[in-house]
Amino acid sequence: MKKPILAPSLLASDFTKLGAAIQKIEEVENAFVHIDVMDGSFVPQISFGQPIVQAIRPLTKRIFDVHLMIDNPQAHFKSFVDSGADYLTFHYENTIHHHRLIQEIRDLGAKPGISIVPSTPVSVLEEILPLVDLVLVMSVNPGFGGQKLIPSCLNKVKNLKKTRQKSSYSYIISIDGGVNSETLPSVLEAGADLVVSGSSFFSGDLPWGKA
Protein backbone atom coordinates (compact mmCIF):
# COMPACT_ATOMS: atom_id res chain seq x y z
CA MET A 1 0.00 0.00 0.00
CA LYS A 2 1.30 3.45 -0.94
CA LYS A 3 2.15 5.50 2.13
CA PRO A 4 -0.22 8.46 2.58
CA ILE A 5 1.09 12.00 2.36
CA LEU A 6 1.11 14.24 5.41
CA ALA A 7 -0.20 17.80 5.11
CA PRO A 8 0.63 19.75 8.29
CA SER A 9 -1.75 22.66 8.80
CA LEU A 10 -0.14 26.05 9.36
CA LEU A 11 -3.23 27.01 11.36
CA ALA A 12 -1.70 25.20 14.36
CA SER A 13 1.75 26.74 13.97
CA ASP A 14 3.21 29.81 15.66
CA PHE A 15 2.07 32.62 13.35
CA THR A 16 5.11 34.67 14.30
CA LYS A 17 7.39 31.89 13.04
CA LEU A 18 5.82 30.66 9.82
CA GLY A 19 9.24 30.24 8.24
CA ALA A 20 10.27 27.86 11.02
CA ALA A 21 6.99 25.96 10.63
CA ILE A 22 7.68 25.43 6.95
CA GLN A 23 11.19 24.23 7.74
CA LYS A 24 9.68 21.65 10.10
CA ILE A 25 7.30 20.52 7.38
CA GLU A 26 10.20 20.18 4.95
CA GLU A 27 11.75 17.62 7.30
CA VAL A 28 8.91 15.27 6.31
CA GLU A 29 9.38 13.58 2.96
CA ASN A 30 6.88 14.73 0.30
CA ALA A 31 4.70 16.59 2.81
CA PHE A 32 2.23 19.19 1.56
CA VAL A 33 1.72 22.55 3.28
CA HIS A 34 -1.95 22.79 4.30
CA ILE A 35 -3.25 26.35 4.54
CA ASP A 36 -6.64 26.90 6.17
CA VAL A 37 -8.28 30.14 5.07
CA MET A 38 -11.14 31.15 7.40
CA ASP A 39 -13.34 34.23 7.15
CA GLY A 40 -15.24 34.42 10.45
CA SER A 41 -18.50 33.87 8.57
CA PHE A 42 -18.58 30.39 7.05
CA VAL A 43 -16.60 29.29 10.11
CA PRO A 44 -16.31 31.11 13.47
CA GLN A 45 -12.64 32.06 13.33
CA ILE A 46 -10.56 34.27 11.04
CA SER A 47 -7.13 33.02 9.97
CA PHE A 48 -5.07 34.42 7.10
CA GLY A 49 -5.54 35.37 3.48
CA GLN A 50 -3.79 35.94 0.19
CA PRO A 51 -0.96 38.19 1.46
CA ILE A 52 0.28 35.46 3.81
CA VAL A 53 0.12 32.78 1.11
CA GLN A 54 2.06 35.05 -1.21
CA ALA A 55 4.61 35.92 1.46
CA ILE A 56 5.46 32.32 2.34
CA ARG A 57 5.36 30.96 -1.22
CA PRO A 58 9.06 31.74 -1.86
CA LEU A 59 10.09 29.85 1.28
CA THR A 60 9.43 26.37 -0.10
CA LYS A 61 8.76 24.40 -3.24
CA ARG A 62 6.39 22.08 -1.41
CA ILE A 63 2.82 21.82 -2.65
CA PHE A 64 0.47 24.41 -1.16
CA ASP A 65 -2.83 22.73 -0.26
CA VAL A 66 -5.14 25.70 0.28
CA HIS A 67 -8.51 25.06 1.94
CA LEU A 68 -11.04 27.87 1.54
CA MET A 69 -13.40 27.87 4.50
CA ILE A 70 -15.00 31.08 3.34
CA ASP A 71 -18.28 32.38 1.96
CA ASN A 72 -18.37 33.30 -1.71
CA PRO A 73 -15.19 31.43 -2.71
CA GLN A 74 -15.91 32.21 -6.36
CA ALA A 75 -15.01 35.84 -5.64
CA HIS A 76 -11.58 34.98 -4.23
CA PHE A 77 -10.28 31.81 -5.85
CA LYS A 78 -8.23 33.56 -8.54
CA SER A 79 -6.28 35.65 -6.04
CA PHE A 80 -5.34 32.52 -4.07
CA VAL A 81 -4.13 30.76 -7.20
CA ASP A 82 -2.16 33.88 -8.13
CA SER A 83 -0.67 33.88 -4.60
CA GLY A 84 0.69 30.35 -5.03
CA ALA A 85 -1.97 27.72 -4.33
CA ASP A 86 -1.33 24.38 -6.04
CA TYR A 87 -4.48 22.65 -4.81
CA LEU A 88 -7.46 24.90 -4.10
CA THR A 89 -10.35 23.34 -2.18
CA PHE A 90 -13.72 24.97 -1.61
CA HIS A 91 -16.79 23.76 0.28
CA TYR A 92 -19.78 22.06 -1.27
CA GLU A 93 -22.05 23.65 1.33
CA ASN A 94 -21.63 27.30 0.33
CA THR A 95 -21.30 27.08 -3.43
CA ILE A 96 -24.05 26.73 -6.02
CA HIS A 97 -22.24 26.45 -9.33
CA HIS A 98 -19.73 23.75 -8.43
CA HIS A 99 -18.93 22.69 -11.98
CA ARG A 100 -18.16 26.24 -13.05
CA LEU A 101 -15.85 26.95 -10.12
CA ILE A 102 -14.01 23.66 -10.59
CA GLN A 103 -13.37 24.46 -14.24
CA GLU A 104 -12.31 28.03 -13.48
CA ILE A 105 -9.76 26.83 -10.93
CA ARG A 106 -8.40 24.28 -13.40
CA ASP A 107 -8.22 26.88 -16.17
CA LEU A 108 -5.89 28.94 -13.94
CA GLY A 109 -3.51 26.00 -13.63
CA ALA A 110 -4.41 24.87 -10.10
CA LYS A 111 -5.97 21.58 -9.04
CA PRO A 112 -9.57 21.89 -7.79
CA GLY A 113 -10.78 20.20 -4.63
CA ILE A 114 -14.15 19.89 -2.90
CA SER A 115 -14.74 19.59 0.84
CA ILE A 116 -17.69 18.52 2.98
CA VAL A 117 -18.41 19.11 6.66
CA PRO A 118 -19.35 16.21 8.98
CA SER A 119 -23.10 16.69 8.50
CA THR A 120 -22.91 16.49 4.69
CA PRO A 121 -23.19 13.02 3.11
CA VAL A 122 -20.79 11.86 0.41
CA SER A 123 -23.72 11.13 -1.89
CA VAL A 124 -24.14 14.84 -2.76
CA LEU A 125 -20.78 14.71 -4.55
CA GLU A 126 -21.85 12.15 -7.15
CA GLU A 127 -21.89 14.63 -10.05
CA ILE A 128 -18.65 16.31 -8.93
CA LEU A 129 -16.30 13.41 -8.22
CA PRO A 130 -15.27 12.87 -11.86
CA LEU A 131 -14.18 16.51 -12.07
CA VAL A 132 -12.02 17.14 -9.00
CA ASP A 133 -8.44 16.31 -8.07
CA LEU A 134 -9.05 16.18 -4.32
CA VAL A 135 -11.91 15.42 -1.94
CA LEU A 136 -11.46 16.69 1.61
CA VAL A 137 -13.50 15.02 4.34
CA MET A 138 -13.78 17.21 7.42
CA SER A 139 -13.75 14.89 10.41
CA VAL A 140 -14.47 17.72 12.85
CA ASN A 141 -16.71 20.76 12.52
CA PRO A 142 -14.41 23.30 10.85
CA GLY A 143 -13.21 26.43 12.55
CA PHE A 144 -11.14 25.31 15.54
CA GLY A 145 -8.04 23.17 16.01
CA GLY A 146 -7.61 20.46 18.63
CA GLN A 147 -11.05 18.84 18.26
CA LYS A 148 -11.76 15.11 18.49
CA LEU A 149 -12.24 13.15 15.30
CA ILE A 150 -15.87 12.18 14.57
CA PRO A 151 -15.59 8.41 13.91
CA SER A 152 -18.53 8.22 11.48
CA CYS A 153 -16.59 10.44 9.07
CA LEU A 154 -14.24 7.55 8.41
CA ASN A 155 -17.07 5.81 6.58
CA LYS A 156 -17.03 8.67 4.09
CA VAL A 157 -13.37 7.99 3.37
CA LYS A 158 -14.16 4.31 2.83
CA ASN A 159 -17.05 5.15 0.51
CA LEU A 160 -14.94 7.57 -1.51
CA LYS A 161 -12.27 4.93 -1.93
CA LYS A 162 -14.82 2.36 -3.14
CA THR A 163 -16.33 4.83 -5.59
CA ARG A 164 -12.92 5.76 -6.93
CA GLN A 165 -12.03 2.14 -7.54
CA LYS A 166 -15.39 1.30 -9.09
CA SER A 167 -15.49 4.27 -11.43
CA SER A 168 -11.73 4.63 -12.09
CA TYR A 169 -11.64 8.19 -10.79
CA SER A 170 -8.33 9.76 -9.82
CA TYR A 171 -9.07 12.17 -6.95
CA ILE A 172 -6.98 12.26 -3.79
CA ILE A 173 -8.89 11.47 -0.60
CA SER A 174 -7.93 13.84 2.19
CA ILE A 175 -9.09 13.96 5.81
CA ASP A 176 -8.80 16.85 8.24
CA GLY A 177 -9.63 17.02 11.93
CA GLY A 178 -8.61 15.17 15.05
CA VAL A 179 -5.82 13.16 13.46
CA ASN A 180 -3.28 12.22 16.11
CA SER A 181 -1.18 9.22 17.11
CA GLU A 182 -4.27 7.52 18.54
CA THR A 183 -6.60 8.02 15.58
CA LEU A 184 -4.06 7.75 12.77
CA PRO A 185 -4.27 3.94 12.40
CA SER A 186 -8.02 4.03 11.79
CA VAL A 187 -7.61 6.96 9.37
CA LEU A 188 -5.06 5.02 7.34
CA GLU A 189 -7.16 1.86 7.46
CA ALA A 190 -10.13 3.79 6.06
CA GLY A 191 -8.05 4.69 3.00
CA ALA A 192 -6.99 8.34 3.26
CA ASP A 193 -4.30 9.40 0.78
CA LEU A 194 -3.60 12.80 2.32
CA VAL A 195 -3.67 13.31 6.08
CA VAL A 196 -4.04 16.84 7.43
CA SER A 197 -2.73 17.33 10.96
CA GLY A 198 -2.24 20.57 12.82
CA SER A 199 -2.00 20.54 16.59
CA SER A 200 -0.67 16.99 16.78
CA PHE A 201 2.05 17.56 14.21
CA PHE A 202 3.41 20.79 15.63
CA SER A 203 3.20 19.56 19.22
CA GLY A 204 5.26 16.50 18.31
CA ASP A 205 2.44 14.03 19.05
CA LEU A 206 2.47 12.92 15.42
CA PRO A 207 6.08 12.50 14.30
CA TRP A 208 5.30 11.16 10.82
CA GLY A 209 8.46 9.12 10.49
CA LYS A 210 7.38 7.12 13.53
CA ALA A 211 3.70 6.91 12.63
Q: Which residues are catalytic?
A: 36, 176
d(CA 139, CA 55): 29
Q: Residue 199: enclosing H or E segment and its boundaries? A: helix 199-203
Decide: residue 88, CB within 10 A, 0-12 exposed, 13-18 middle, 19+ buried. Answer: buried
Of the candidates 167, 108, 103, the residue with the CA atom closest to the CA atom of residue 132: 103
Beta strand residue intervals within 92-164, DSSP E: 111-116, 134-138
Distances (CA, A) of 78 to 32, 43, 103, 104, 198: 20, 21, 12, 8, 26
Q: Residue 196: enclosing H or E segment and its boundaries? A: strand 194-197
In the three-class reduction of DSSP (H, G, I as helix; E, B as strand; rest coil), residue 147 is classed as coil
Q: What are the residues facing 138 on neighbouring strands?
A: 176
Of the candidates 89, 87, 84, the residue with the CA atom closest to the CA atom of residue 60: 84
Of the candidates 66, 65, 64, the residue with the CA atom closest to the CA atom of residue 76: 66
